[in-house]
Structure 1
Amino acid sequence: MIPPQMQQLMKQVQKIQKRMAELQEELAEKTISASAGGGMVTAVVNGRQELVSLKIEPEVLNPDDKEMLEDLIVAAVNEALRRSQEMVQEEMAKITGGLKIPGLF
C-alpha cells in the first residue's frame, strides 16, 4: 500500500506536469522582440525559442556592407533568444515555486 504522503506527492507532481504541458502551449504564443543597430534589425522569437519574424529596415540593405547586416541580424536574434529564455524561466518559476528541476525547459 502506498503511504498517504506519497499519494499526495504523486498528485502534486501530476498537477505540475499538466501545468507544464499547458505552459508549453502558451509559450508558443508568447513573443519577445529585440532590435540591433538602433532598430534597423528586429527579431521576434516565441517562448519555444523559435524565430517567428525578422524585420530589416531598407536603409541597412547595402550590398557593399553585407557583413554589417549579418552582424545586426545575429545580434538581434541572439538578444531575442536570451529574452525568450528569461521569459520561460520566469514562467517556470511560477509553476515550480522557484525550484530548479533539471531537464525542464
Structure 2
Amino acid sequence: MFKGLGGLGGIGDMAKMMQAAKDMQSKMAELQEELARTVVIGEAGAGLVKARATAKGEVTGLDIDPSILVPSEKEVIEDLILAAIRDAQSRAVARSQQEMQRLMAEMGLPPDMKLPF
C-alpha cells in the first residue's frame, strides 16, 4: 500500500515525520510567543529618542529626552522619532532571525532553511 512513497519505509516512519512536524509547529508557536514578549530598544540622536518594540516589530513606547522638546526643532524631533522607530524595528527583525536560527539549530535543521513563518 505504501510502496509508492519511496524511501519512507512505511507507517512507522510516517508517524515519526508527523510527530516531528507537530513538535516543530509547537516550538514555532512558543517562539512566536517569546518574540511577542521580548523587548528591543531602538535609538536615535545619541539616545535622545528611544523606541521600544517587541521582537515581532510592534512599537510599544517612546522615550524622548525633554531637552529636545523645542518648538523650533519640530522637524528634527520628528526625524529622530522615525529614526528610533526604524532602529527598533531593525533590531526586532535581527532578534527574530537570531531566535529562528537558534531554534532551527536545536531541531537539527539547516540555519538558512526558509520556513513559511
Larger Rg: 2
- Give yes or no for the alignment of 1:100 onto 2:113: yes
- One-letter code aligned to 1:85: V
Q: In the aligned structure 2, how far is the partner of 1:40 from the partner of 1:6? A: 56
Q: 2:63 aligns with which of 46, 55, 63?
A: 55
Question: After alignment, is 51-60 or 6-15 more displaced?
Answer: 6-15
Q: In the aligned structure 1, how far is the partner of 2:16 from the partner of 2:29? A: 20
Q: In the aligned structure 2, how far is the partner of 1:8 from the partner of 1:94? A: 23
Q: Which residue is equivalent to 1:12? A: 20
| TM-score, L = length of structure 2 | 0.80
SS where residue 113 of structure 2 aligns? coil
**1:23 to partner: Cα distance:** 1.1
Q: Summarize the Cα distance change of 1:59–1:70 in structure 2 as closer, same or farther, 3 Å threshold.
A: same
- Give yes or no for the alignment of 1:27 onto 2:40: no
Q: In the aligned structure 2, how far is the partner of 1:66 from the partner of 1:13? A: 52
Q: Which residue is equivalent to 1:79? A: 87
- One-letter code aligned to 1:25: E
RMSD: 1.5
Q: Which residue is equivalent to 2:45? A: 37
Q: Which has the higher contact order (CA 8 A, sep 6+)?
A: 1
Identity within the alignment, %: 36
Q: Which residue is equivalent to 1:66? A: 74
**Structure 1, unaligned runs of 5 or more:** none
| TM-score, L = length of structure 1 | 0.89
Checking the alignment, whether the CA contact within 8 Å between 2:55 and 2:91 is kept in structure 1 is no
Q: In the aligned structure 1, how far is the partner of 2:43 from the partner of 2:24? A: 35
Q: In the aligned structure 2, how far is the partner of 1:95 from the partner of 1:6? A: 23
**Structure 2, unaligned runs of 5 or more:** 3-9, 106-110
